[in-house]
Amino acid sequence: MTTARDVMSSGAECIKEDQTLLDAARMMRDLDVGSLPICGKDDKLHGMITDRDIVVHCLAEGMDPATVKAGSMAQGKLYWVDADTDMDDALAVMQEHQVKRLPVMDKHRLVGMISESDLTRRLDEHRMSHFAQEVYAR
């Protein structure tokens, strides 16, 4: 059985909820990623922020990314899987909820992320095409 731990990219880093969106943008640049998990002072996962969130919900609204806190972007339902979750079940969560990046947790701590690029390394062309249709076509 292939698990989420087998598929994920490990070493995911969190933006703290009290850090700014400017900090988040710099972290994304430095890590070469398009999203970051938002973690609270308790080190638990509180949400996700994407580069698109920064543009659409901060910059386009005329807000200052140097003052807006990352925690303010932690809205909506957060989806994640346990590290021992079967890869097919993790894929089903991503498809059902149209999630392109999925946090992977172990004992309530973030241990990695599953992204589209992780999936392309594991899925055959047919399954990847089905994933794309489910996540993007709805």
Q: How far apart are the first and last CA of the chain?
A: 29
Whether the predicted pLDDT of 75 surpasses 80: no
> Which is higher by pLDDT, 138 or 134?
134
In this model, does residue 24 exceed pLDDT 80? yes
How high is the pLDDT of residue 12?
85
pTM for the model stands at 0.85
pLDDT per position as a tens digit, 29-73: 999 988 899 998 887 888 999 999 999 999 999 999 999 999 998
pLDDT at 123: 82
137 pLDDT higher than 80: no
* pLDDT tops 70 at residue 138: no
Instruction: Write out pLDDT tens, residues 96-116.
Output: 998 889 999 998 889 999 988
Domain 4-136 annotated CATH 3.10.580.10: yes
CA angle in degrees (0–180, nearest 5) for 70-76-79 = 95
- Amino acid 132 reads A
* pLDDT score recorded for residue 121: 87
Query: How many residues does the structure list for the chain?
Result: 138
Distance CA 4, CA 63 (A): 37
Domain ranges of the chain: 4-136
Tokens 């249709």: give the residue: 133
Q: Give the pLDDT confidence score for residue 38 in this predicted structure.
A: 94
- When pLDDT is averaged across residues 83-87 and rounded to a whole number, the result is 95
